[in-house]
Structure 1
Amino acid sequence: MADRKPIESWLTDMDGVLIHEGVPIPGAEAFLKKLRDSGKPFLVLTNNSIYTARDLHARLLRMGLDVPVENIWTSALATAKFLADQRPGGTAYVIGEAGLTTALHDIGYVLTDADPDYVVLGETRTYSFEAMTKAVRLINDGARFICTNPDETGPSLQGPLPATGAVAALITKATGKDPYFAGKPNPLMMRTGLNAIGAHSESSAMIGDRMDTDVLAGLEAGMRTYLVLTGLTKPDEVERYPFRPSETVDSIADLVDRI
């Protein structure tokens, strides 16, 4: 690692790194302030596709964390960028919330259940059997299956919740068709994010709390990776994976002086 270029841009996951169950993690505010003051390009990433970047900016600001809208990159935005490149001006049947539908509207997509080009599955707290049945039938009729992220569970105050990946598995079982996942650990999300801020992977770092998404995505995108232990991955779990982060630290507070 001694010959690596200095870190000139930072990407960081949100849940488990900056916040935990709606509360800022100690050191997050100082880290973000130092990033803003440094003028270095940075992005806060999330695989959650429920909220728009503007929604997330407002939610974080209420917690005392100031992240400009242009510095937020979601799996919904990554999915929209992918679809805009693959099939400009296409059509999609969408299961998801405003973060996803807004991103697709913004690239000129028409949302429809009449012979759509794609079925796009995102995060929602109101998955309906009717919507999933329609998705299965449209995929069987030829629509291509896209999913914002593969996370099988998500956090809540009451414990884990079924998430996009779990619902995608149900649809795959019913159709025999696997989705294309646009979000982490697909390095596509990282590379499109880096392009959005004019950064290069060789001089960028990814901070995350999950080995299977954050660290893997950063590794495959060619970035330096930092695992924090304030989220889902515990110290004794790191060695179970066939890959390693560049460095493991206790929390985001340990990285403030690295900027």
Structure 2
Amino acid sequence: MLLDHFPQLKAVILDMDGVLWRGKQPIGNLAAIFTKFQDLGIQYTFATNNATGSIGQYVEKLRSFGVEVNPNQIINSPMAVAYYLKKLYPQGGAVYLIGETGLIEALQEAGFYHSEDGVLAVVAGLDRQFTYEKLRKASLLIQKGIPFIGTNPDKTFPSPEGLTPGAGSILAAIETASGVAPQIMGKPYPHLFQLALQQMGTQPEETLVIGDRLDTDILGGKNAGCKTALVLTGVTTLAEAEQWQPRPDLIANSLSELVGVDS
């Protein structure tokens, strides 16, 4: 079992898209994988840059694949955005919002709502209804000095059809139009990993970050001081992984291989 490379291991922080599934298709026998984690006494938290789905939707998706989790085991980039905005604006307020359910709900829970007037910030993530008009309005607001906050820098994400545009593609368009780079809240920045470590009560050296993307999962895990494992079921090839510095602590073909269960 490849996990034997980490004798101090007490917990894992897992990405989801490209690690657990592609679109609606699971990658491997997820029920067996998480039963194995439980048998080994290893805690797990899911940390995803994906800002489109709500926490409840992720709980249901995992359940459909035979994995029962509590909502507090799932952390996403909208939670980091909401946490950051709440520190700046404890009273909540208006934001110009480009995004989907996950981002909308996280901000609503923190007291923020979409508006085009009197906005405190422009907040953008993946939006599959993104239009030129949204780009125009966001750009004009940012040019007036309104802060520009992005959920995550993922330019693409894996689907059964191939790589499709991610939040980073939309952020790049807004940056090009406005001339201002966003403040990113998701991976590879530390907010999601710190929340996960805090919830599990583990130290970075006892925790393994598992992901499919070098520039977010692996870099973010390294930045947080955790061990890292790359799986090759998402966007990264073996050749890319071998050239990346600092190299992941472990490279596996899949989560099934990493954990040692039949796929």
1:149–1:182 Cα contact (<8 Å) kept: yes
Identical aligned residues as a percent? 36
The counterpart of 1:19, out of the listed 6, 12, 21, is: 21
Please state whether the residue corresponding to 2:162 is helix, strand or coil.
coil
In structure 2, the partner of 1:231 is 234
In structure 2, the partner of 1:34 is 36
Whole-Å Cα distance in 2 between the matches of residues 240 and 70 of structure 1? 35
Please identify runs of 4+ aligned residues in structure 1 that moved more than 6 A.
none
Whole-Å Cα distance in 2 between the matches of residues 251 and 79 of structure 1? 30
In structure 2, the partner of 1:173 is 176
The counterpart of 1:150, out of the listed 149, 153, 157, is: 153
More divergent stretch after superposition (150-159 vs 237-246): 150-159
Please state whether the residue corresponding to 1:160 is helix, strand or coil.
strand
Match status 1:58 vs 2:66: no
2:22–2:159 Cα contact (<8 Å) kept: no
The counterpart of 2:188, out of the listed 185, 195, 219, is: 185
Match status 1:86 vs 2:92: no
In structure 1, the partner of 2:115 is 112
In structure 1, the partner of 2:51 is 49
In structure 1, the partner of 2:3 is none
Shift of 1:99: 0.5
Which residue identity lines up with residue 81 of structure 2 in the other structure?
T
Which residue identity lines up with residue 32 of structure 1 in the other structure?
F
Change over 3 Å in CA distance of 1:80–1:197 after alignment to 2:
farther
Deviations 1:13-70 (A, max 9, x none): 1122111332222243222223345664321122110111101111222233333322
Shift of 1:167: 1.3
Deviations 1:88-123 (A, max 9, x none): 233311111111011011112243221211100011
Which residue identity lines up with residue 14 of structure 1 in the other structure?
M
Deviations 1:141-166 (A, max 9, x none): 22100000101122333332222111
More divergent stretch after superposition (145-154 vs 106-115): 106-115
Change over 3 Å in CA distance of 1:127–1:21 after alignment to 2:
same
Match status 1:99 vs 2:102: yes
Which residue identity lines up with residue 64 of structure 2 in the other structure?
R
Shift of 1:85: 2.5
Which residue identity lines up with residue 52 of structure 1 in the other structure?
S
Whole-Å Cα distance in 2 between the matches of residues 52 and 161 of structure 1? 20
Long gaps (5+) in structure 1: none
Please state whether the residue corresponding to 1:222 is helix, strand or coil.
coil
In structure 2, the partner of 1:242 is 245
In structure 2, the partner of 1:140 is 143
Superposition CA RMSD, Å:
2.2
TM-score, structure 2 normalization: 0.89
Shift of 1:184: 1.1
More divergent stretch after superposition (34-43 vs 21-30): 34-43
Q: Count residues in correspondence.
A: 256
Whole-Å Cα distance in 2 between the matches of residues 256 and 49 of structure 1? 27
TM-score, structure 1 normalization: 0.90
Long gaps (5+) in structure 2: 1-5
